[in-house]
Structure formats: C-alpha cells, structure tokens
Chain A
Amino acid sequence: DARVTQTPRHKVTEMGQEVTMRCQPILGHNTVFWYRQTMMQGLELLAYFRNRAPLDDSGMPKDRFSAEMPDATLATLKIQPSEPRDSAVYFCASGLANPLQGANIAFFGQGTRLTVV
C-alpha cells in the first residue's frame, strides 16, 4: 500500500519552540513537496525537491523555516522559532517526475496539524 507518511499527525507547541515535521515519500518518487493549508490561502506551496535537491523554496519564510531531504526516504520541515501564525496543517506530497510523460500527479500525506500557543 504505497502512500506518503507524515509524522506527527498533531503537534501542539509553545511559541518559540522548535518544531520538526517529517515525511516519508512514496518509494521511488523523486519529487517531494511541502504545502501549508490555511483558510485564506488554501494550499500554499512552501518548497519542493527533485532528487533530494531543493528546486524552489521561495514560499517559505527563510528566517524561521528550513526544509531538507537527508535521504531519499525522509523529508523534514523545521520551524525555529515557532510563532502562533504558523498554526496550520502542513502537507507533504510526492510524485514521480518523468520527462517522457506529461502527467505530474502529486500524492499527499494526511498532514501534520500544528498548533502554536
């Protein structure tokens, strides 16, 4: 059963604390995305990686957010220090980029609901 796995599902933390969200992409997928869902912006693209290299992280607040792929089976999104306005649901998605085919479907995890108090 291939799926994107995100941990933790829920996280409550105090303002100023470091938060790390983890994602295991579908085995064999070479593209990984981080999105944030807010009421006003919908699904907001934070960053995405191809073959573990960051292609675009312009959607992330650089001073406090960082995204990495230590290996092909793990992507992390860190917030340090966290602020109440970071409260949202964070989704990881993965897909297989194939230059020979046009389809580019991303498969989403169940998300991490972050609450910063």
Chain B
Amino acid sequence: DQQVKQNSPSLSVQEGRISILNCDYTNSMFDYFLWYKKYPAEGPTFLISISSIKDKNEDGRFTVFLNKSAKHLSLHIVPSQPGDSAVYFCAASEWWDMRFGAGTRLTVKP
C-alpha cells in the first residue's frame, strides 16, 4: 500500500528552465514532508522540507509547495542546472514514521 506516490518516473528539462516534481499522499495524518536528492551509488541527502501548517517553503532555487486539501506537494527548481540531475524522493512522515515515494529521475540538459 503506497502511501506516498510519485507518478512520474522521469522528467527532462532544459538548463535554466523550471523543474516541477510532483508527489501525492494518502494518509491525512502525515504532518511533515521532505524532499531528498539521490546521486548514483550514494545515499539520499536531505534537500528541503515543509511542515503541514505551512503551504510554501523556499530555500534558494528550491521551493516546496503543499496543498493539504489535495494531499499534494511539489518541488520547484528554478533555474534548473545540470548538477541537479539526480533522483528525487518525496517523503511524508507522521512523527518519525517516514514513508517515501518511488522517486523521479530528473535530467537537466545543458
């Protein structure tokens, strides 16, 4: 039972453009949401997070948006850079029970 879903396995964008990665969840008890970035042969690394009491959190080129009524969050990367090419995992947690999606592979083309 996938509680966190990333329906796009891959996304390709041009350098300098916006990348939008999407994530849906089913458990309304989730109260904290995170995005992780993963390079090959490495573990996922934390990128940005948002509490359920907020609808937006921004950190440099990265912004996460949360729509609680739709149980949907998204990660915007502006502008996209070739170094952003990686697999991005969405995660949702209820306290420390943290569930991940299947990941979206982002490719940023020069």
B83 nearest CB across to chain A (Å): 19
Q: A4-B43, A106-B46 are in contact. List 9 more A-B contacts (CB 8 A).
A: A31-B96, A42-B102, A42-B103, A55-B96, A91-B43, A102-B51, A104-B96, A108-B44, A110-B41
Residue in B43, B93, B101 whose beta carbon sits within 8 Å of that of A108 in the complex = B43
Knowing A102-B51, A108-B43, A108-B44 are in contact, say whether A48-B103 is a contact too (CB < 8 A). no
- Assign chain B's interface to a size class: 20 to 34
Q: 18 A–B contact pairs at CB < 8 A? A: A35-B100, A40-B102, A42-B89, A42-B100, A42-B101, A43-B100, A45-B98, A48-B96, A48-B97, A91-B43, A95-B96, A97-B96, A104-B93, A104-B95, A108-B36, A108-B44, A110-B41, A111-B43
Q: Binding site of A, secondary structure by majority: helix, strand, loop or mixed? A: strand
Q: Mark A86-105, 1 if CB is under 8 A from B, else 0.
A: 00000101010100001111
Asked if B59 CB lies within 8 Å of chain A CBs, one says no
Total interface residues on A, CB under 8 Å, equals 28
Contact among B36, B51, B102 for A41, CB-based, below 8 A: B102
Instruction: Report which of A45, A48, A50, A105 forms a contact with B34, defined as CB distance below 8 A.
Output: A105
B49 within 8 A of A: yes
B88 to chain A, nearest CB (A): 11
Cβ contacts under 8 Å, A4 to chain B: 43
A45 CA to B91 CA, complexed, in Å: 11
Chain B residue nearest to A103 in the complex (CB): B49
A56: chain B residues at CB < 8 Å are 97
- On chain B, the residues within 8 Å of A103 by CB distance are 32, 49
Which residues of chain A have a CB within 8 Å of any CB of chain B? 4, 31, 33, 35, 40-45, 48, 50, 55-56, 91, 93, 95, 97, 102-111
The proximity string for B residues 32-46 relative to A, scoring 1 for CB distances below 8 Å and 0 otherwise, is 101010000111111
B56 on the interface (CB 8 Å rule)? no
* Docked complex Cα distance between A110 and B39 (Å): 10
Q: Is B107 an interface residue (CB 8 A)?
A: no
Residues of chain A within 8 A (CB-CB) of B6 are 42
Q: Bits for B17-39, please: 1 = Cβ < 8 Å to A, else 0.
A: 00000000000000110101000
